[in-house]
Amino acid sequence: MLTELRIQNFAIIQSLELTLQPGLTTFTGETGAGKSIILDAITALLGGRAEPTFIRAGAERASIEALFLIPPTNRQAILELLQREDLLEDEESILISREIRQNGRSTARVNGHSVSVTLLRELGSFLVDIHGQSEHLSLLNVRQHLNLLDRFASSYETLTAYQQLYRELRRTQKELENLRQSEQDAARRTDLLEYQAREIEEARLQAGEEETLRQERNRLANAENLSSLAQEALNLLDEGLPDSPALTDLLGQVIQVLEGLARIDAEQNRLAEQALLVNDTLAEISRDLRLYLDSIEFNPRRLEQVEERLDLINRLKRKYGGSIEAVLAFARSARQELETIAHATERIAELEEKEKELRRQLAELAARLSKIRQNAAAQLAKAVEAELADLSMAGARFSVDLRTQPDAHGLSLNGAGDALAFDENGVDQVEFLIAPNPGEGLKPLVKIASGGETSRLMLALKRVLTQADSIPTLIFDEIDQGIGGRVGAVVGEKLWLLARQHQVLCVTHLPQLAAFGDQHYSVRKEVEGGRTSTRVELLEGDARLIELAQMLGAVTQVNLNAARETLQMAQARALQLAGRLV
């Protein structure tokens, strides 16, 4: 339920804070005062259009913030969504905000965390259902009729199971199509893959060998220089030069002197020991250099082999990947594809059998779904006609036309009869039919309903459908469009009853409807300092009577008396209805 709403610099709203209660809340005021702007702000808050044109002139940004209590009806789904996105801060409430900037960017937050608009819409779908002034136009979209019927039928579980099987069937058919296409290209493709895999496998590549080969090539190419340097180092260490003794001979002399020094001054033993350690280190260096000299290979043939091997590796890398690992992976992939091609006939047979079984299961679910819809269609028609009778359309008839289309490649329900065309929603095509006046035949709603009739039909459908809704807050923007005051009281009753199960916000121009509000807000424009702003005021007592009188035409004693009578009648009717609900 929406409990708090704050709007800043949105259209002509400079600053607005509302505290909303359960039940029916009505908003009244002159056209253009900003009633629908409040609903536009809520729509933007929940992931709707958020353009810079919404920002109040002279402001840098607009912001909307709302606090929602998590309803018990769909509490689990909301908590799972918040936990999935790591947004759960409080299991009792949700704080949602959206900021719109002049540069066209907008920021959405849930419980202080930035979220995508897609997630905002997903969360908003659990919290608020908004029906705008042209919402009844959705009834004129035949493709929406099936969704409305399913919503009434509570067929979600069966429809979900059907759609999962449908998606699995499409995946199976896609794989079959690819395999059958592959069969046609199998010979050419097999030759290419076999050549590629064999070329890589015959190279016998080893991970890491490229670096090892580069190091070996470096040693082989520089063998003479390496040998010369190593020999020079050995000469300096062990043999000396014509005009100077070897380094080891000099160090031997140093050791003798230091040993003599230590015999006289025992505290200098450390120096002699360090000299001996240096001598041992030089001896190890000499041994290592001799071993290294022995390992240096003057082998032009081996150098040529290494160069050829590196050239082969580079050529394979250019063809199949940027590294030895990538080349080996390509070979594995080629072998796997060859295996797939080799077993394509077997796999095609398996998939054909799977497709057959999926179609059988799908046909069973489609038949079950169709049966649910047929039963629900009759119930929906009866319930809508009852609502229309209350809305001064007592003679109107409403029907749900369920049709199927033959299709040789479709589903055969219950294993008998013609195969029927099917899609992700089953085999049924649905259209709402209406006969607004007695004696008229049923005809498509989209062709014959007038504006007022469509509005009342929309209300009747919403009344029937939303009673099963789990969405806590329902918003209606001028649902009374196209109907008169006589029907307005009935609409008020309908919305008041709906508000016993949901929080209902309604923008209206009819005093007969506004009088049923548990809360009544007045929305008006004020001009201050040359700027127009929207002001919203909670009406109680005489202020509410004055507003209702203005809606009746003007604030006269006659209209004040009529307003008082309208309000009293609405309150008395609400008490009667409440008594029936107990």
**CA dihedral sign, ordered 185, 190, 193, 199:** negative
Q: What is the pLDDT along the chain (582 residues), one digit of tens a residue?
A: 999 999 999 998 999 999 999 999 999 988 888 888 898 899 899 988 888 999 998 899 999 999 999 988 788 888 989 998 989 888 899 999 999 999 888 999 999 999 999 999 889 888 888 776 554 455 667 887 888 888 888 888 899 999 999 999 999 999 888 888 777 677 677 888 888 899 988 888 888 888 888 887 887 777 778 888 888 788 888 877 777 788 887 888 888 888 888 888 888 888 888 888 988 888 888 888 888 887 777 778 888 888 888 898 889 988 888 888 999 999 999 888 888 777 777 788 889 999 999 999 999 999 999 999 999 999 999 998 888 888 778 888 999 999 999 998 899 887 666 889 999 999 999 998 988 888 778 888 777 655 556 667 777 877 787 766 678 888 888 777 666 667 788 888 888 988 888 899 998 889 999 999 999 999 998 888 788 888 999 999 999 999 999 998 888 999 999 999 999 999 999 999 888 776
Q: Which two tokens stand for residue 197?
A: 């895999």
CA dist 115 and 9 (Å) reads 22
Terminal Cα-to-Cα distance of the chain (whole angstroms) = 23
CA dist 393 and 382 (Å) reads 13
> For the chain, how long is the longest CA-to-CA vector?
138
Q: ∠44-49-53 over CA atoms, to 5°?
A: 95
pLDDT at residue 450 in the model: 57
CA dist 304 and 218 (Å) reads 12
Q: Which two tokens stand for residue 63?
A: 């912001």
Q: How many residues does the chain have?
A: 582
Q: Which residues pair with 487 in a beta bridge?
A: none
User: Phi then psi for 123, rounded to 5 degrees?
Assistant: -65, -40
Model's pTM, two decimal places?
A: 0.60
Q: Which two tokens stand for residue 6?
A: 């704050």
CA dist 346 and 552 (Å) reads 79
Residues with Cβ < 8 Å from 299, sequence gap 6 or more?
220, 223
Q: Are strands 531-538 and 93-101 parallel, antiparallel or unpaired?
A: unpaired
pLDDT at residue 136 in the model: 46
560 exposure class (CB count in 10 Å sphere: 0-12, 13-18, 19+): middle
Transcribe 539-558 into DSSP letters: --THHHHHHHHHHHTS--HH
User: Phi then psi for 63, rounded to 5 degrees?
Assistant: -140, 145
Are 106 and 64 spatial neighbours (Cβ–Cβ below 8 Å)? Answer: no
Separation of CA 140 from chain center: 29
Q: Which two tokens stand for residue 24?
A: 């029916």
191 exposure class (CB count in 10 Å sphere: 0-12, 13-18, 19+): exposed
Separation of CA 186 from chain center: 40
CA dist 562 and 539 (Å) reads 17
Transcribe 428-476 into DSSP letters: -EEEEEEE-STTPPPEEHHHH--HHHHHHHHHHHHHHHHTT---SEEEE
